[in-house]
Amino acid sequence: MYFSSRLEAGYRLAQQLVGLYRYENTIVLALSDGAVQVGQQIAATLHTPLTMLLVEQINIPGENIEFGTLNQSGRFTYNGKFSAGEIEEYYSEYHGYLEEQKREHMSSMNQLLGAGGIVNEEMLREHNVIVVADGLPNGTSLDAVADFVKPLHILRLIIAAPIASVEAVDRAHIVGDELHILSVTDNYLDTNHYYDVNDIPSHEATIAALNDIVLGWH
């Protein structure tokens, strides 16, 4: 399935969610700048707050292989496709590079955290949390979400995305309490491929939008 824009995809997801969560204690949690565009439509329709969880992907150098993800709390989640032996082998070979990437991403996230518009743990307690992605090529980002919310007492973890791989959906069934996925593919291409318009703003512009517009929903 293809979409004209992330806003259109968000509207479609909102129609599935509005009857379930319009009058419930709910918050929309976006996983990327593109996901904020999707989440805006959901938050506006449900009249819920929208915020963002910072999650950064760290890849094996020279290869298009995701080693794992780092969330804003500093917790690192390994790619679940790797065995313990593979993780040890990669980490041994690229230890210096991987640690430097973690430091750089954490420093960048800490700067953004000071700008506001980013989730803190207290915002999620006793809420239904709708986790929104603009696309799920795999389940690693969902594992990062699970690590973030694990210490918290949330009501339900709802995963919503316009497009996802079979692998991501399998992982979502394990991590989440409820799924809303518009289209599933076994040959996931780059997320931008599924949208006619790819006008994703920078982190800074996204956070400004969260502060100026979305956090004011009532």
Mean pLDDT over each residue of the chain, to the nearest integer: 85
Question: Is residue 113 predicted with pLDDT exceeding 80?
Answer: no
Question: Which CATH number does the domain housing residue 187 bear?
Answer: 3.40.50.2020
In a domain, 119, yes or no: yes
| Mean pLDDT score, 31-42 | 91
- What percentage of the chain reaches a pLDDT higher than 70? 90
Q: Which residue has the higher pLDDT, 211 or 131?
A: 131
In a domain, 94, yes or no: no
Rounded Cα gap, residues 16 and 9, in angstroms: 11
Number of domains in the chain: 1
Reported as a single tens digit per residue, the pLDDT across 146-199 is: 888 888 889 999 999 999 999 999 999 999 999 999 999 999 999 999 999 998
Asked if 170 and 139 touch (Cβ cutoff 8 Å), the reply is yes
Domain that holds residue 211: 6-55+115-216
| Mean pLDDT score, 34-51 | 91
Using the structure block, give the residue that is written with the tokens 């379930």.
Answer: 20
